[in-house]
Structure 1
């Protein structure tokens, strides 16, 4: 009887943990469909629009590793409780923001809170499920939930925006946060690593500052053109990140253990966690604008078109562990890259006169690869290290996802902004701002929409080429290790990767 109660308690604990996981993933994409409404209400500039979208992802990605280590040392449940409360408060503040600057500030607060939730949530699964098979199943459900959150974010937003104002897409976080704060103390036990080292504050500061200054340079150059200030910021960001990387090899308790990347399967997996999110976030955001501002669809119709791809992505994440047991991690990683590349290429036939069908086909095909990447990366990351370092390892995998989400919008979104500025009617820096100008003639509207679609095509083609290249690299690098590491991973997942004692 006690065994049944313990098992039930474990699965109930998993359900409680999945609530914040779903929210953190959804909030990486929930504003995609809401951006036209936010633009109309708050009138952000071109670079403010990009910051609204990716300040959240930057905050999550730049602090995940640090908070993974904090949770290992000071307690994962405690960090989960604090982070959930902060996430709820940030959501309320963002929902009622009255200016772009205020919205960005609260999105950053939500990102900081999100960084406390993901690594601890995944690490807690190791304490809830001691049986390896049940733990693997729980990790698969975790990965599927995370994948589903990214996918359904725009869909949920579309349903809410047809009935309420744009802030409603953020207020939906509050009831889930309240339920977690009530149930977590009952179902989750406190866990911390023994003998963990102190958090290196200098590494936290330099990694975060380096990312933010480098991305500021990219975004400012895309919106305003290259200037000395943006060049200086870019150089400073690169220097800070370089110093951070060197410091990790010199200190005793680094935020990132780069020796893990000596294993080719692990290295390709982490890149696989980063690149698909970069491509997905950029094309999902641009496609949401395309459907509404170019094809003239309503929010509800645009959200409906995202449903098939979201379903395929979620199913792919769920079934991937079973598939991996047959074909191995290496084949799964390679399949993910080539499938995503094929899906992205299906966006190229879209045009100003139509393309909804191509959009659906693109999201369905690419969704297979996205689902594989979400599932495989989480599994490898947790299997790579001893249990007491699970928080830091999980943080490294989730950092790739979140930085991919933020950097995808920053880099690919900036590329699209540059192309619009070059090829558009030169009336405003973005399509949304152009469409709001009074007295536009049809020729100017056609030029603006055509320039935006050209930018979407270049972004999709560039991302597809990068995926093909990385897929080819994966074939070459993983060929020699496929038999040994995959056979081990199928029977004993931890043996497929280097472990630390």
Structure 2
């Protein structure tokens, strides 16, 4: 019962990263955001979650994980309520950012409290595997849930659906969950947090502005300033005892590839899922309900793949699984090339199904591979970076690949408005102009698909060449919990040490037998 209570908010945090993909045409129709505001509405949530995950992991260490979890759930509910009744795009962006802040408190604390529920290593491994599958499923079903709600209610319903789950958590959690004993907490470096957020937002603002409107004084100043702040952030992390992101871990080749594998598939998935939703509704004229149903096969296969990936890894090894991930995603993305303004539903479904296999492998494998690549005392930092890469990847996909689509439309479209939806909203358009706009949008979608596919092919080949075959042999030895590199329950922000209690030491004959459960630890 405690596991089910925790999974509710986790599912919502993941789902809210993608729930607007099919809902954006309705949001645009109701609130009339500019091109930049529409992109910020989609990705500010992911940026805030990704930027603050590690920070709130450390805060949870210091002040209590369950306490922070209760505060985060309350804030997430209030922000969801505000977003549902937003009266303008800026107000919606602000509440989405607040939801991201709350989401950043939930993920590390939820996993810590979950791990505390299960003393048995095998049960804990299964529970964490279910946690990972629920998080991946939330991302996958978000568009379908949003589409189903919009077929019956107004656009704000995609946020109100959060409230019953959150209220149930607040009622049940005090009785079913217990506070996690805090470990030694690292110092929270406020300047680093500010650097990461400001650097990311300034850089992405410049990219979006140039794509949608061309060069301007604001973009020329914001872009370089953001890059400088990010470089300052990286330099500072290398000097801190408790960095927000420990960049020294990237010296390990396997770790670096695992983190990029966590980022790139999320970027490709978020961008193409959003653009495909616009394609289905605004280009083909499909209802939001049917569009939601069309997204279900890919979402289902993605979720199933998350669950069975450990079995795949046991058969072919981690390196081969990583390469397979990238090749499946690339092949699925390239299936979007035949889509056209006159039709392409079958190609869209085939694309989501094939790419869904790759996405599922990535979601399930990345964190475990990253943690296994580092020394035991760095397991918490590695897990935090892996989780952050997923969130940042989700946001960067909309920001960068979405901006590429906007740029292509601006260069090849009828040049009447900055975006496809804004163009279709203009009164008195001739049929030829509408067809021109649809052609330009589809070209932008295909440009995004090809770009993301090429990046995945390149990363797959790089993985094949640069990741040692010994990784597969190493993964076999790690099936025994006594040989795992550190406590897999370590949270973002953890600085846990190996237990001093001899009964908890590796090799203790009283330890629980190795887990054979098909879930990532």
Same-fold status (TM-score > 0.5): yes
Aligned twin of 2:385? 396
> Pick from 193, 208, 215: which aligns with 2:204?
215
Structure 1 unpaired stretches of 5+: 1-11
- After TM superposition, give the deviation of residue 34 of structure 1 in Å: 0.9
> Pick from 43, 56, 61: which aligns with 1:54?
43
- After TM superposition, give the deviation of residue 120 of structure 1 in Å: 1.7
Aligned twin of 1:445? 434
Matches of 1:240 and 1:296 in 2, distance apart? 44
SS in 2 for 1:306: helix
> Pick from 320, 344, 349: which aligns with 1:360?
349
Q: Which shifted more, 445-454 or 429-438? A: 429-438
After superposition, what is the alpha-carbon deviation per residue over 1:352-383, rounded to whole angstroms, capped at 9, x for unaligned?
A: 11100000000000000111111112334565
Aligned twin of 1:477? 466
> Pick from 216, 226, 229: which aligns with 1:227?
216
- After TM superposition, give the deviation of residue 442 of structure 1 in Å: 1.0
- After TM superposition, give the deviation of residue 489 of structure 1 in Å: 2.6
Cα distance change on mapping 1:313 and 1:397 into 2, 3 Å: same
Aligned twin of 2:276? 287
Cα distance change on mapping 1:390 and 1:87 into 2, 3 Å: farther
Between the two proteins, the alignment pairs up a number of residues equal to 490
Aligned twin of 2:416? 427
Structure whose residues are more often helix by fraction:
1
2:327 is the counterpart of 1:338: yes
SS in 2 for 1:141: helix
- After TM superposition, give the deviation of residue 126 of structure 1 in Å: 2.5
- After TM superposition, give the deviation of residue 115 of structure 1 in Å: 0.6
CA contact (8 A) 2:254 2:370 kept: no
Q: Which shifted more, 369-378 or 401-410? A: 369-378
2:238 is the counterpart of 1:254: no
- After TM superposition, give the deviation of residue 262 of structure 1 in Å: 3.1
- After TM superposition, give the deviation of residue 342 of structure 1 in Å: 0.6
Aligned twin of 1:91? 80
Aligned twin of 2:262? 273
Matches of 2:254 and 2:390 in 1, distance apart? 17
- After TM superposition, give the deviation of residue 218 of structure 1 in Å: 0.8
Aligned twin of 1:172? 161
Cα distance change on mapping 1:497 and 1:441 into 2, 3 Å: farther
SS in 1 for 2:479: helix
Q: TM-score normalized by structure 2?
A: 0.90
Q: TM-score normalized by structure 1?
A: 0.94
Aligned twin of 2:299? 310
> Pick from 379, 392, 396: which aligns with 1:407?
396
CA contact (8 A) 1:73 1:192 kept: no
CA contact (8 A) 2:370 2:382 kept: yes
2:449 is the counterpart of 1:460: yes
CA contact (8 A) 1:57 1:406 kept: yes
After superposition, what is the alpha-carbon deviation per residue over 1:272-306, rounded to whole angstroms, capped at 9, x for unaligned?
A: 11110000000000000000011110101111100
CA contact (8 A) 1:77 1:189 kept: yes
- After TM superposition, give the deviation of residue 396 of structure 1 in Å: 1.8
SS in 2 for 1:490: coil
- After TM superposition, give the deviation of residue 175 of structure 1 in Å: 0.7
Aligned twin of 1:135? 124
Aligned twin of 2:26? 37
Aligned twin of 1:8? none
Structure 2 unpaired stretches of 5+: 489-495, 498-521
After superposition, what is the alpha-carbon deviation per residue over 1:414-444, rounded to whole angstroms, capped at 9, x for unaligned?
A: 0000100000000111111111111111110
Matches of 1:66 and 1:150 in 2, distance apart? 23
Matches of 1:150 and 1:285 in 2, distance apart? 12
Matches of 1:385 and 1:83 in 2, distance apart? 30
Matches of 1:15 and 1:391 in 2, distance apart? 24
> Pick from 244, 249, 260: which aligns with 2:233?
244
Cα distance change on mapping 1:161 and 1:140 into 2, 3 Å: same
The RMSD of aligned alpha carbons is 2.0
Matches of 2:383 and 2:412 in 1, distance apart? 43
Matches of 1:468 and 1:426 in 2, distance apart? 34
After superposition, what is the alpha-carbon deviation per residue over 1:84-142, rounded to whole angstroms, capped at 9, x for unaligned?
A: 10000000000000000100000000000001111222233332223222222222211
CA contact (8 A) 1:341 1:465 kept: yes
Aligned twin of 1:299? 288
Q: Which shifted more, 282-291 or 62-71? A: 62-71
